[in-house]
Amino acid sequence: MWCLVRALVPALRPLLCRPLTPTLTYGCQGSQAEAAYTSVVARPTGTKLIADNRRARHDYELLDRVEAGIVLTGTEVKSLREGRVQLGHAYADVRGGEVWLVGASISEYAQGNIANHITERDRKLLLKRSEIDSLYGKVREKGLTLVPTRLYFKDGKVKVELALARGKDRGDKRRAIADRDARRQMERALKSRR
């Protein structure tokens, strides 16, 4: 019996083990060359915005920005693909040498089952140790806070853009609104003169 199996394995190996990359058959001329594709899925490239935290731009003066990965479950990623996330009251916190995203609400996945995720849980952010130490020092000493400004897909992975931010008081907010309105009126005036 074993002799029969040993004799058949080398003969069946080319049929069982196919390459995972596209291979071209050369020998035909020009357009007759056929590509034999086997189970290779193209990875998405580029960036796709999921959510933008406009409230952070209004409430804070954004100083320094850093990109971080985020630890998610499967249903959270599916819900993010549908764009169902709220970042309005979210912030990042450094605890025990790790950075956590607190207050971000990712809605439940509609087609999820009993293993669906919890919407209001703290999510771990992935940063390099040097970045974590630098951010922790700035947040602790200068009275700054970490605020998520954008949530997006980058090459198929979910990323968070964190900003080191200083809170604005009411006067600063009103001044920013007045400056923005004045700038818009000037642009309208210049546009109407043309």
- Model confidence pLDDT, tens digit, residues 123-142: 999 999 999 999 999 888 88
Q: What is the pLDDT of residues 31-51, one digit of tens each?
A: 444 444 445 667 778 889 999
What's residue 117's pLDDT?
84
More confident residue, 160 or 177: 160
CA distances, 143 to each of 128, 165, 168 (Å): 22, 9, 12
Q: What is the pLDDT of residues 16-30, one digit of tens each?
A: 555 544 444 444 454
Structure tokens at 149: 């400004």
Percent of the chain scoring above 90 in pLDDT: 30
pLDDT band at 113, cuts 50/70/90?
Answer: confident
CA distances, 73 to each of 117, 162, 193 (Å): 7, 21, 55
- Cβ–Cβ under 8 Å, residues 54 and 111: no
- Cβ–Cβ under 8 Å, residues 126 and 56: no
pLDDT at 4 over 60: no
Q: What are phi and psi of 48, to 5 degrees?
A: -135, 120
What's residue 32's pLDDT?
47
pLDDT at 52 over 70: yes
The domain spans of the chain are 47-173
Q: Which of 129, 162, 131, 157 is nearest to 145 (CA)?
A: 162
Give the Cα separation of 72 and 85 in Å (integer).
13
What's residue 5's pLDDT?
52
CATH 3.30.70.20 is held by the domain 47-173: no
What's residue 169's pLDDT?
78
What's residue 26's pLDDT?
46
What's residue 38's pLDDT?
47
More confident residue, 15 or 156: 156
Q: Give helix then strand counts, H and E, for the chain.
A: 5, 11
What's residue 21's pLDDT?
47
What's residue 180's pLDDT?
86
Tell me 191's DSSP state. Answer: H
- Cβ–Cβ under 8 Å, residues 106 and 76: yes
